[in-house]
């Protein structure tokens, strides 16, 4: 089941307390690619049952959350794991293949203790969630 959030504090609470890989789907109801992505994300959640949590943020209703993560395109999927925003894994435009790949990368880290995408991390270091404003 996809969860909707309506404020940054609620989002941070979920990210800091849930052990699963968390995908935050920034969308708008008028966005056709966003609507096309929804059933694909539901299937992804079923595929990775109990390993992935999908959260939706409606950028028209809650623009402050989108602004906190510098969202400029829709749909945009941000990945969180171990209380960290994995900025280098962000997917804009709804490429479901890349979304599955990124989930797999983070689950590999979770299961095997491997560092995901080491070469990408050299150029795009991960950012702690605390570096984003709560306002």
Q: pLDDT digits over 32-54, tens only?
A: 999 999 999 999 999 998 899 99
The percentage of residues in the chain with a pLDDT greater than 90, rounded to a whole number, is 70
Output the pLDDT for position 76. 97
Residue 76's CATH number: 3.40.30.10
Residue 31 falls in the annotated catalytic set: yes
Give the residue numbers spanning the domain of 100.
Answer: 3-131
Query: Distance (Å, rounded) from C-alpha 15 to C-alpha 70?
Result: 18
| Domain total of the chain | 1
Phi and psi angles of residue 107, each rounded to the nearest 5 degrees, phi first: -70, -35
Q: How sure is the predictor about 20, in pLDDT bands with cuts at 50, 70 and 90?
A: very high
Asked if pLDDT for residue 133 goes beyond 80, the answer is: no
Q: How sure is the predictor about 120, in pLDDT bands with cuts at 50, 70 and 90?
A: very low
Return the sign of the alpha-carbon dihedral for residues 3, 127, 67, 13. Answer: positive
Q: What Cα–Cα distance (Å) separates residue 133 from each residue in 25, 62, 76? A: 19, 14, 19
Of 24, 34, 78, 91, catalytic: 34
Of 3, 10, 18, 31, catalytic: 31
Helix (H) or strand (E) holding 94: none
Q: pLDDT digits over 67-110, tens only?
A: 999 999 999 999 999 899 999 999 999 899 999 999 998 988 65
Prediction pTM value: 0.81
Residue 34 falls in the annotated catalytic set: yes
Asked if pLDDT for residue 30 goes beyond 60, the answer is: yes
């Amino acid at each position: 089941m996809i969860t909707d959030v309506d404020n940054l504090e609620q989002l941070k609470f979920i990210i800091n307390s849930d052990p699963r890989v968390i995908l935050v789907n920034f969308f708008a109801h008028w966005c056709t690619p966003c609507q096309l992505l929804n059933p694909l994300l539901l299937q992804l959640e079923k595929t990775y049952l109990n390993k992935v949590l999908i959260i939706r943020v409606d950028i028209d209703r809650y623009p402050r959350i989108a602004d906190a993560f510098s969202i400029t395109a829709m749909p945009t999927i941000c990945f969180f794991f171990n209380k960290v925003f994995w900025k280098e894994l962000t997917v804009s435009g709804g490429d479901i293949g890349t979304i599955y790949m990124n989930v797999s990368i983070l689950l590999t880290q979770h299961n095997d203790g491997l560092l995901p995408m080491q070469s990408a991390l050299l150029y795009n270091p991960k950012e702690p969630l605390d570096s984003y404003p709560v306002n």
